């Protein structure tokens, strides 16, 4: 007689926000259980947004079973065990903390919060929730690019030796036109910061993730090139965030690092690049060629970089996808994020990046802003964990 199989337990998901990130996360929740053998089965229970008509249309398009117009009602739903926070930054802290206190797991988009105080409160709430078996993850999706995960493996295996240099940049051009309208991303009260938080947070996280080290201090400069932009209803309004940020840094080991984040790199649509130089070799990754990892072994033959096509079944995440050479795309990073979070919840382990990882990135962003207001003065980054005090 055939062996009986049972479906895995259901993990009801509620999501707050349904714009750009909401659409990306929705695709991930739809896709992950059909690609990976997950220990829990995500169910897209409810989508939340303030406009009832718009959220119903979004739910029908994105695959959500029900809608809410108040996030508090979403958190209270019995069919929601996990809350996915995809709002602008000004909503992260309130929603995530309330969800954790209600015993709901939380996935929160990056940067973790708009302010350091908010991020501290979120990390503390996640610590309290973890003691009750409730998990929280910060949504740094670029950790889930298979080539980036492979780079981390190579660093951990000692393939490039002691890190000497890190170079990271994230370049976009969507604000080059001074007539581009004023959106929430250009308002400090909604977004917290500009290119620094939106783009710089990613490369700060990748630098710390890939090296396994924290940034110890920074010297920074920021700029706002267009200080007023058109409003949708006419007139103009002030831009209250940075358009670009550049900074140098030291890692805890003494390695040197440089970072650039801008929305004014004409011709660059979404180019994230990071390079690590070590005593034994180097690694380089470019998001515009996201299925490739450049690797240089100093003792290799020939000397110089080789290109690794990261599509083999033994590479991170690839065993569930297509035959070798059949490349993946940007949206797969969110599917991998869902897979890792669901697995952590089922196994009772802390997912990474945690809210404390998100907090550490926030500390770097705060130090960058502080340095920029002090004529690029060297500014240490706090890495203390109050749980170890």
Alpha carbons 97 and 118: distance in angstroms, whole number: 10
DSSP, collapsed to helix, strand or coil, labels residue 115 as coil
Residue 3 has pLDDT above 60, yes or no: no
pLDDT in tens, 215-270: 999 999 999 999 999 998 899 999 999 999 999 999 999 999 999 999 999 999 99
pLDDT bucket at 5, cuts 50 / 70 / 90: low
Contacts (Cβ under 8 Å, ≥6 apart) of 167: 257, 258, 273, 274, 275, 277
343: left (phi over 0), alpha (psi -120 to 50) or beta: alpha
Length, in residues, of the chain = 389
Residue 4 has pLDDT above 60, yes or no: no
Name the β-bridge partners of 277.
Answer: 165, 282
DSSP, collapsed to helix, strand or coil, labels residue 179 as coil
**Average pLDDT for 54-70:** 98
**Average pLDDT for 18-33:** 98
pLDDT bucket at 389, cuts 50 / 70 / 90: low
Beta strands in 228-291 (DSSP E): 228-230, 236-238, 244-251, 256-262, 271-278, 281-286
What is the domain partition of the chain in residue ranges? 10-141, 145-379
Residue 2 has pLDDT above 50, yes or no: no
Q: What is the CATH number of domain 145-379?
A: 3.30.360.10
pLDDT in tens, 87-136: 999 999 999 999 999 999 999 999 999 999 999 999 999 999 999 999 99
Residue 69 has pLDDT above 50, yes or no: yes
Q: What is the pLDDT of residue 213?
A: 98
**Average pLDDT for 40-45:** 98
pLDDT bucket at 300, cuts 50 / 70 / 90: confident
267: left (phi over 0), alpha (psi -120 to 50) or beta: left
Read off the pTM: 0.96
pLDDT in tens, 135-158: 999 999 999 999 999 999 999 999
Q: What is the pLDDT of residue 97?
A: 98
Write the burial class of residue 314 (CB in 10 Å: 0-12 exposed, 13-18 middle, 19+ buried): exposed
Alpha carbons 177 and 268: distance in angstroms, whole number: 13
Number of C-beta neighbours around residue 306 at 10 A: 11
* Same fold for the pair 10-141 and 145-379: no
Contacts (Cβ under 8 Å, ≥6 apart) of 123: 112, 354, 355, 356, 358, 359
pLDDT in tens, 327-372: 999 999 999 999 999 999 999 999 999 999 999 999 999 999 999 9
Architecture of the structural domain at 10-141? 3-Layer(aba) Sandwich (3.40)
CB of 333 closer than 8 Å to CB of 321: no
Residue 1 has pLDDT above 60, yes or no: no
Contacts (Cβ under 8 Å, ≥6 apart) of 250: 215, 216, 217, 256, 257
Q: What is the pLDDT of residue 174?
A: 95
Name the strand (E) or helix (H) holding 300. Answer: none
Q: What is the pLDDT of residue 140?
A: 98
Q: What is the pLDDT of residue 232?
A: 87
Helices within 199-349 (DSSP H only): 201-211, 332-347
Closest CA to 247 of 287, 270, 225, 220: 220
- Please compute, for residue 25, the number of CA atoms within 13 A of its CA located in the half-sphere on the CB side: 30
- DSSP label of 291: T
Residue 204 has pLDDT above 70, yes or no: yes
Look at 130 and 301; give whichever has higher pLDDT.
130
């Amino acid at each position: 007689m055939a062996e009986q199989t049972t479906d895995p337990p259901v993990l009801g998901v509620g999501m707050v926000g349904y714009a750009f990130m909401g659409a990306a996360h929705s695709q991930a929740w739809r896709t992950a259980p059909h690609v990976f053998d997950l220990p829990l089965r995500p169910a897209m229970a409810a989508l939340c947004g303030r406009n009832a008509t718009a959220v119903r249309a979004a739910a029908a398009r994105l695959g959500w079973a029900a809608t809410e117009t108040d996030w508090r009602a979403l958190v209270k739903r019995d069919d929601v065990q996990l809350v996915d926070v995809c709002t602008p930054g000004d909503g992260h802290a309130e929603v995530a903390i309330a969800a954790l206190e209600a015993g709901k797991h939380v996935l929160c988009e990056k940067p973790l919060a708009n302010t350091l105080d908010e991020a501290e409160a979120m990390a503390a709430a996640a610590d309290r929730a973890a003691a009750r078996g409730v998990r929280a993850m910060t949504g740094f999706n670029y950790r889930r690019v298979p080539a980036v995960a492979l780079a981390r493996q190579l660093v951990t295996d000692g393939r490039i030796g002691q890190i000497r240099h890190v170079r990271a940049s994230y370049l976009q051009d969507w604000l080059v036109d001074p007539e581009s309208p004023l959106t929430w991303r250009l308002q400090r009260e909604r977004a917290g910061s500009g290119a620094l938080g939106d783009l710089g947070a990613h490369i700060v996280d990748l630098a710390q993730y890939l090296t396994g080290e924290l940034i110890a201090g920074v010297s920074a400069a920021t700029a706002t090139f267009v200080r007023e932009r058109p409003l949708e209803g006419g007139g103009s309004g002030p831009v209250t965030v940075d358009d670009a940020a550049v900074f140098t840094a030291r890692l805890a080991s003494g390695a040197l690092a440089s970072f650039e984040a801008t929305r004014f790199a004409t011709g660059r649509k979404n180019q994230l690049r990071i390079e690590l130089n070590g005593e034994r070799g180097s690694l380089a990754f470019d998001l515009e060629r996201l299925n490739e990892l450049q690797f240089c072994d100093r003792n290799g033959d020939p000397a110089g970089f080789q290109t690794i096509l990261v599509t083999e079944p033994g590479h991170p995440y690839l065993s569930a996808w297509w035959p070798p050479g059949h490349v993946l795309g940007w949206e797969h990073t969110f599917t991998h994020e869902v897979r890792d979070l669901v697995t952590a919840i089922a196994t009772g382990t802390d997912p990474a990046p945690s809210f404390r990882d998100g907090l550490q990135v926030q500390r770097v962003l705060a130090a960058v802003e502080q340095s920029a207001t002090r004529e690029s003065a060297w500014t240490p980054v706090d890495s203390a964990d109050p749980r170890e005090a």
